[in-house]
Chain A
Amino acid sequence: QTVVTQEPSFSVSPGGSVTLTCGLNSGSVSTFYYPSWYQQTPGQAPRILIYNTNTRSSGVPDRFSGSILGNKAALTITGAQPYDESDYYCGLFMGSGIWVFGGGTKLTVL
């Protein structure tokens, strides 16, 4: 069974930088998995931030960037703002045409 792994929680100071990662229980994440990143605040629907590994969705500030770091997909937030405090999910497109989401990372900005 495919499991997408994310840090359960992370904390960053206002103005600081943080990198969240997205891995696979078996194997490495590459661009061929078309990693995407979603931000979700309580009671709201997710919002796409990044797709195709490193392309920002329309209207997403350039403080958010995506990449592959080692064997994982990564979402980096630079100059974190208090309103960046959210849950962040990565999504991967598997070769069989299915999608899988990670368990999410709860980001605290304080």
Chain B
Amino acid sequence: QITLKESGPTLVKPTQTLTLTCTFSGFSLSTSGVGVGWIRQPPGKALEWLAVIYWNDDKRYSPSLKSRLAITKDTSRNQVVLEMTSMDPLDSATYFCAHNIFTTTTSGFHHWGLGTLVTVSS
């Protein structure tokens, strides 16, 4: 059974750096084709893909946020960390991590964490 859980601060101040951790189980980030992605959703708005890191340490970022994001993995601890700098109230959202697969037969975000709500306010 695959599970993912997001953790991190619920409140950050403008200009601060947000650090979120995704702790997962039921799969290995050293398996070919496997990745973990981050997606956010402001209240009442649409999903926005942020970043993904793959088994081979390939990292991809949303072009509009690339300068502010950094994604890393700790395969031995089954964790993926996302950092977002220069936080702004517009970054207030529920942040999800999700299990991603990209192989010749499978793609997409197949398992999601419950999400963590982050509010940016002074």
Binding site for B on A (CB under 8 A): 1, 34, 36, 38, 40, 45-48, 51-52, 55, 57, 89, 91, 93, 96-104
CB of A12 to closest CB in B, whole Å = 21
Interface size of B by CB at 8 A reads: 25
B112 at the interface (CB under 8 A from A): yes
CB of B43 to closest CB in A, whole Å = 11
Complex CA–CA separation, A52 to B60 (angstroms): 20
Q: A99-B49, A100-B49 are in contact. Are A45 and B114 (CB under 8 A)?
A: yes
B29-60 toward A: CB 8 Å interface, digit per residue (1/0)? Answer: 00000000101000000111100100000101
Complex CA–CA separation, A103 to B102 (angstroms): 23
* B-chain residues with CB within 8 Å of residue A51 when the two chains form the complex: 106-108, 110
* A-chain residues with CB within 8 Å of residue B102 when the two chains form the complex: 34, 93
Binding site for A on B (CB under 8 A): 37, 39, 46-49, 52, 58, 60-64, 96, 102, 105-110, 112-115
* B-chain residues with CB within 8 Å of residue A38 when the two chains form the complex: 47, 109
What are 15 sample pairs from A and B whose C-beta atoms fall under 8 A apart? A1-B63, A1-B64, A36-B107, A36-B109, A45-B113, A45-B115, A46-B96, A52-B108, A89-B46, A91-B108, A93-B102, A98-B49, A98-B60, A98-B61, A101-B49
Contact across chains for B108 and A98 when beta carbons are under 8 A apart:
no
Contact across chains for A52 and B107 when beta carbons are under 8 A apart:
yes
Contact across chains for B46 and A93 when beta carbons are under 8 A apart:
no
Complex CA–CA separation, A91 to B48 (angstroms): 10
Contact across chains for A101 and B61 when beta carbons are under 8 A apart:
no
Interface centre among B37, B107, B114, by most chain A C-beta atoms within 10 angstroms, is: B107
* A-chain residues with CB within 8 Å of residue B64 when the two chains form the complex: 1
